Amino acid sequence: MFNHIPEIGKTFVRPDAAGKSKGTEKYAADYYGDQLVWAGVRRAGIACGRIRNVDTSAAQSLPGVVAVLTAKDVPGTNRQGIVHKDQPVLAEDKVRYSGDAVALVLADDRATLDKALALLKVDIEPLPAVFTHEEALKPGAPVIHESHPGGNILLQAQIRQGNAVQALADCDVLIEESFDVPMQAHAFLETENGLAWQEPDGRIVLICSTQAPFRDRWEIGHALGIPMDKLRVSSPYLGGAFGGKDGATVQCFLALAAMHAQGRPVKMTWSREENFAAGYKRHAAHMEYRLGAKADGTLQALHCKLFYNTGAYAHLGGEVMALGMEHAGGPYRILHTLVEGWCVYTNQPIAGAMRGFGVAQVSFAAERMMDLLAAKLNMDPLDLRQKNALRRGDQNTSGVTMTQSTGIDACLAELQASPLWQNRSQWKEQASLFKRRGVGVSAVFNAIGYGRGLPDSAIAKIELTQEGNIRVYNGVTDMGQGNATAFVQIAGQILCQENNRFELIQPDTDRTLPSGSSSASRTTYTYGNALIKAAEDLRRKIIGRASLILLADTLDGLELLPGRVRDMQSGREIPLEMIASIMPPEDRICTSQFLMPVVRDKMNTGKEFVIGFPHLLFSYAAHLAAIEVDELTGAIEVKEYDAKTEAGHVLNPHTFTQQVHGAIAQGIGYALFEEIVTKDGRLMTPDFTTYHIPCAPDVPEMRSQIIETWEPSGPYGMKGVGEVGSNGPLPAIANALADACGVQMTCSPLSPERVLLALAQMKKQENPRQ
């Protein structure tokens, strides 16, 4: 459609947009096969119990059923998991949450599959269950994982600088408050799914909607006892993920099913209800904060206790909590900090990775505390934040020196200058009958990358094809964030080729190279850096080979231009196809590995974290929400939203803004309506009629301003921006609510019911006799 050279810094249209708009781009969900077998899982239905018996006879004898498998049919360890392998593929003797898989059924068609699943007689003796962190931590509470040394504590950790407890006692001003946030669902539109088959040589091939195809091989291999080279996993573009497809969902079921399908392709697609019941969630959390400051607003000390409810299995619970703890103080200098964290097993659905990974939770607490402090000090909320904002060279609350780009002060300054903030009093005065208006702000940040303890690595692979095109082998899933677009821009910038010359291969463990998971706002940074080197190597290689045809005695006079190499002196040009024709296949490929730099500070805290702490690089944002509260219903409407975001230099303004917009919308859902509700561990919000995500009229017109800095370690100066935006809305809106009507919310979502109740309580306190 538009032929030009993809370049850095320009809005470059996504290469995948055309296919997606025409409906021709295939997602994993769009793959079918001949003689297709449909696979489905029967789930526990109760939160905790001992499996007495699973009677598969009726299901097995149903015509059209290909196989019925239980735990005894799982070779290998029957344990999946990313860091802790504590989750059975098929439950053995115990079920630990209502979505625990008990049996896997394969059938010729979906109707038969449904019938067979219903015919399974699953006899589970209910056992006492725990659902909150308090219940799980009580002495004598039922233990969810008997073999886990920490009992129901998956991980307990501390981050400590100075002496917070002592320092709090000496502060001029002290604020204490507790906060609670619920589970949130990713609600990506393409549910968990995949297609798998076994080749004649025994190798298992999977096409899967997954954020981590390379790690999936390892996870499947460990669970099912299959050597990694006997597994091939590819991930097409995902229909959304946001962390919910990080870690095995359908993968182990599919591989197991493929082994029992006599070479036929097996398809598993989770229904929306199954996605709610068995998909991963954002951790619910309880947070207790004590924040102390000097009379002039200088933050002095923070002591907080964080309880993350990780559900029945570990997934990435410890790492989520670690990141939350690392961000618990907000993007500020605080001299003394004590952050204590407990990541607790319960019989709730599994909490795992979700955009803003542990940080969305503490951002609510930290930023409400800042507003409470500002109110007590009679200080402007932005002035207070500006006074304490981290700057390059400071140490953060974990004791890490901010050696890299740190732009929160610029974000805050821009927000302070924004018309919405400047004119907020007038705007508020215009509220009509039964409406109250308020304006609230939040300052947020989010680390990028894995942190220490494991390689944050990407390996780029780029090829000059025989046709003279440039093929980029993307090693990391594009789940919608547009990293594939950035890679074409980087390669285009370096190789000076027009966009119609570029081919993209999406991750495939046979063809692309391991580049970690699509997570942690890391993908463009790591793969991009690797790609720069690989593309530069390829550029030099192409020029070098061209010199053989051009008989050039120096490479300096040769230039790589669209479709050709030119000898600048003679004017002679050689098309790329011709250069490719003299290169053997292995010569036409360049690869390069990049590891994200790690913190060099000698850490004297956070020793309990095996991986995931600390981080070197952060992106920052300052958000403003202007809301209207309806006094009759308690409903909050976000009328205006403004986000100032700093993530280094921007490679593509469109994809940057797309990420900010999307993150804000998810944050608004988290703030206003999204809440996974369970009763005895069973989902009371199992579908889109009971779990509401924002629809178009719910999201206001968003203003997004790019605050540019330059991150020296990043590809063309960029940092990841995927997550930081999702942390801003809940605190900004909660602060706006307090501004509008004095309601100080300590739990979320800020539903109409909660707000109306709070308004009524306030009225009673003001007029006790009425």
Partner 1 sequence: MKIQFILNGEEIHLDVAADRRVVDLLREDLGFTGTKEGCGAGECGACSILVNGEHRLSCLMVAAQLAGAEIVTIEGLSGEKGFHPLQEAFIREGAVQCGFCTPGMIIAAEALLKSNPNPTREEIRSGLSGNLCRCTGYQKIVDAVSEASRIGKKTT
Partner 2 sequence: MKNVWLPQNLTQLWACLDNEPDARFFAGGTDLLVQMRSRKVEAAAWIGLEKINEIKGIDEDKGSIRIGACVTHAQLLRHPLIAGKLSLLHKAIATLGSPPIRTMGTIGGNICTASPAGDTLPPLYVLQAEVEIFSFKGTQRLPIRDFISGPGRTKLQQGEILAAIHIKPSSGTDLHHFEKVGQRKSMCCAIASFAALWSLSSSGRIEKARLAWGSVGPTIVMDQDIEGFLIGKKLTRETLDRAAQLVEQRVAPIDDVRASADYRRKVSGHLLLRLLHFTQGCARRHIRDKGVADPPIG
Residues that bind partner 1 (CB under 8 A): 1, 11, 13-14, 16-27, 29-30, 32, 186-191, 237-240, 242, 271-272, 479-482, 654-655, 657-658, 661-666, 687-689, 693-697, 699, 701-702
Distance CA 11, CA 6 (A): 9
Q: Does 666 help bind partner 2 (rule: CB under 8 A)?
A: no
Q: What residues have CB less than 8 Å from 696, skipping those under 6 apart?
A: none
Query: Helix or strand or coil: residue 315?
Result: coil
Distance CA 395, CA 393 (A): 7
Burial bucket for residue 185 (CB in 10 Å: 0-12, 13-18, 19+): buried
Which residues, listed in sequence order, are joined to residue 767 by a DSSP beta bridge? none
Task: Give, as one character, the DSSP assignment of residue 508.
Answer: B
Closest CB 76 distance from partner 2, rounded Å: 35
Q: Which does 434 bind (CB under 5 to 8 A by kind): partner 1, partner 2, none?
A: partner 2
Q: Which does 665 bind (CB under 5 to 8 A by kind): partner 2, partner 1, none?
A: partner 1
Phi/psi at 305 (5° precision): -120, 125
Distance CA 477, CA 480 (A): 9
> Judged by CB, which is closer to partner 2: 1, or 433?
433
Window contacting partner 2 (CB under 8 A); options: 141-149, 311-319, 612-620, 689-697: 689-697
Closest CB 580 distance from partner 1, rounded Å: 29
Q: Does 628 help bind partner 2 (rule: CB under 8 A)?
A: yes
Window contacting partner 2 (CB under 8 A); options: 20-28, 182-190, 427-435, 575-583: 427-435
Hey, which residues between 527 and 566 contact partner 2 (CB under 8 A)? none
Q: What residues have CB less than 8 Å from 328, skipping those under 6 apart?
A: 159, 287, 302, 304, 306, 337, 339, 362, 365, 366, 397
> Judged by CB, which is closer to partner 1: 370, or 625?
625
Closest CB 189 distance from partner 2, rounded Å: 14
Q: Which does 1 bind (CB under 5 to 8 A by kind): partner 2, partner 1, none?
A: partner 1
Task: Transcribe 35-77 into DSSP letters.
Answer: T-EEEEEEE--SSSEEEEEEE-HHHHTSTTEEEEE-GGG--TT
Which residues, listed in sequence order, are joined to residue 291 by a DSSP beta bridge? 175, 302
Window contacting partner 2 (CB under 8 A); options: 257-265, 625-633, 647-655, 659-667: 625-633
Q: How far is CA 544 from CA 464, 587, 592, in A?
A: 13, 12, 18
Closest CB 179 distance from partner 2, rounded Å: 22
Neighbour tally for 178: CB within 10 Å: 14
Q: Sheet containing 37-43: give its strands across.
A: 65-69, 101-107, 37-43, 266-269, 193-198, 204-208, 231-234
Distance CA 490, CA 280 (A): 34
Q: Which does 30 bind (CB under 5 to 8 A by kind): partner 1, partner 2, none?
A: partner 1
Hey, which residues between 434 and 463 contact partner 2 (CB under 8 A)? 434-435
Closest CB 428 distance from partner 2, rounded Å: 11
Q: Which does 632 bind (CB under 5 to 8 A by kind): partner 1, partner 2, none?
A: partner 2
Neighbour tally for 745: CB within 10 Å: 21
> Judged by CB, which is closer to partner 1: 433, or 695?
695
Q: Does 757 help bind partner 2 (rule: CB under 8 A)?
A: yes
Closest CB 405 distance from partner 1, rounded Å: 25
Distance CA 482, CA 11 (A): 12
Binding partner 2 (rule: CB under 8 A), the pick from 426, 432, 554, 765 is 432
**Residue 353's closest CA among 407, 296, 315?**
315
Binding partner 2 (rule: CB under 8 A), the pick from 149, 553, 695, 769 is 695
> Judged by CB, which is closer to partner 2: 605, or 751?
751
Task: Transcribe 320-379 into DSSP letters.
Answer: HHHHHHHTTT-SB--SEEEEEEEEEE-SSPPB---TTTTHHHHHHHHHHHHHHHHHHHT-
> Judged by CB, which is closer to partner 2: 454, or 757?
757
Q: Which does 702 bind (CB under 5 to 8 A by kind): partner 1, partner 2, none?
A: partner 1
Q: Rule CB under 8 A: which residues touch partner 2? A: 430-435, 628, 632-635, 672-673, 677, 684-685, 688-690, 692, 694-698, 751-753, 756-757, 760
